[in-house]
Amino acid sequence: MFLAEVNRENIVKTVSMLDVKDNETVMILIGEDSIPDIDGLTCDLNEKGICFFGGIFPAVIHGEAKYTEGAIIRKMPVIEKPAVVCIKEPDSIRIPDYTGFHEMESDSKYTAIILVDGMAPNIGLFLSEMLNKLGNSVNYFGGGAGYQSMKKDLCLFSSDGFFNNSAIVALVKLESSLGARHGWKKMMGPLVATRTDRNLISEFNWENAFEVYREAVERDSGRKFSESDFYDIAKEYPLGLFREGCENIGRATVALTADGDIVCGGEVQGNAVVDILGGNKESMIKAAQMAAEDCRIPSGRRICHCLISDCISRWLLLEDEYSDELKAINRGVQSADNGEIPEGVLTLGEISSLGERYLEYLNLTTVVMVLYE
């Protein structure tokens, strides 16, 4: 459900009309230009005994359009109340036991929806701990909340309050089908990231990382970093972390430190095998449609939701053609006979399980999920 006029009263009225039961929660996703009184909203919903969680994002998506003002509101059945996990420090990460989930006798593979503060540290470590706790017994979907300006501010909320440096996990009692693609192709590589520090890369193949990157990108683009802002060129040449059996994991190259380190949009492990990627708008749009087409479900099952987690870098790169990507996603949804209007958010990083082996924090990627029962 898309809510165009966002304020405290409208959200409370809309959520109240959903008739939320004890075993249900409401997900509220809000565009950054229409943030209501979150503290007041939390008080109102808590007084009504309504379970809820949500976040602030650069924009929300409804069908073939994105909105920096507006909200997406969805009611879902849950196995347990959504949990808030602090990820500010490695030692602060405490994954719940999920006793209710582990005690369930079900052959169904349910879904974990995860919202994180996209500017928080330790996202990769948190996801690793989540995978250790739940393994591949669930599908994972979500994304990084926050602001287009990349400012560090409060961006997640639940009945526990308004916060950052955290993650919210909702175990949803629905099965799901996922598609995740970015459409970028190898331009140079493989390289080995021989010196890294979380999201910073200092060396490729024991050489200065920026010098290796600069030489390859300037040769391919015909442009010089000395004559442009770093991101103006780098946004068209992200990095790809090698993963066997699936598309490379995208890492946006977002900035350059004073020391010459490349700042990435997510963590890069030491000695990771990395490609420099290139692409074009056509391949990105095609990939988005393919992600939607991947979301096919068993016949005879009832579709409940179709959700999108789409990287903000795709909007920034596609610019006026971003609407073409959303149209392509809608075509993909229709071709997969999903019958639901896709809704979601522009994210600061995307979360998806890829096959049976990986739970990843992605950049540059379109992730589409269909929930069904």
Question: Which of 192-220 are b and which e, b meaning 16 or more Cβ less than 10 Å from the residue's Cβ?
Answer: ebbbbeebbbbbbeeeebbebbbebbeee
Hey, which residues does 267 pair with through a beta bridge?
A: none
* pTM for this prediction: 0.94
Number of domains in the chain: 2
Q: What is the DSSP letter of 150?
A: -
**Residues 124, 44 within the same domain:** yes
**Residues 159, 27 within the same domain:** yes
Smallest Cα–Cα separation from 325: which of 358, 362, 277, 279?
A: 279
Residue 261's domain comprises: 185-278
- Predicted pLDDT of residue 334: 85
In three-state secondary structure terms, 50 is coil
- Predicted pLDDT of residue 371: 96
**H or E segment to which residue 204 belongs:** strand 200-204
Last residue of a domain, one of 278, 311, 333: 278
Please, what is the average pLDDT of the chain?
94
**Residues 305, 162 within the same domain:** yes
Smallest Cα–Cα separation from 120: which of 79, 77, 90, 88?
A: 88
**Residues 175, 302 within the same domain:** yes
pLDDT tier for residue 269 given thresholds of 50, 70 and 90: very high
**Residues 109, 240 within the same domain:** no
What would the pLDDT profile of 219-228 be if each residue is shown by its tens digit?
999 999 999 9
CA angle 353, 354, 360 (to 5 degrees): 55
- Predicted pLDDT of residue 356: 61
Q: Which two tokens stand for residue 321?
A: 């053609």
Instruction: Report how far residue 171's alpha carbon sits from residue 109's, in angstroms, rounded to the nearest whole number.
Output: 11
Last residue of a domain, one of 237, 258, 278: 278
**Residues 100, 61 within the same domain:** yes
Question: Which of 322-344 are b and which e, b meaning 16 or more Cβ less than 10 Å from the residue's Cβ?
Answer: bebbbbbbbebbeebebebebbb
User: Cα 33 to chain center, whole Å?
Assistant: 19
What would the pLDDT profile of 94-153 be if each residue is shown by its tens digit?
999 988 888 888 888 999 999 999 999 999 999 999 999 999 899 999 999 999 998 999
Lowest mean pLDDT among 154-158, 167-171, 292-296: 292-296
pLDDT tier for residue 315 given thresholds of 50, 70 and 90: very high
Last residue of a domain, one of 234, 257, 278: 278
- Mean pLDDT over 274-278 rounds to 95
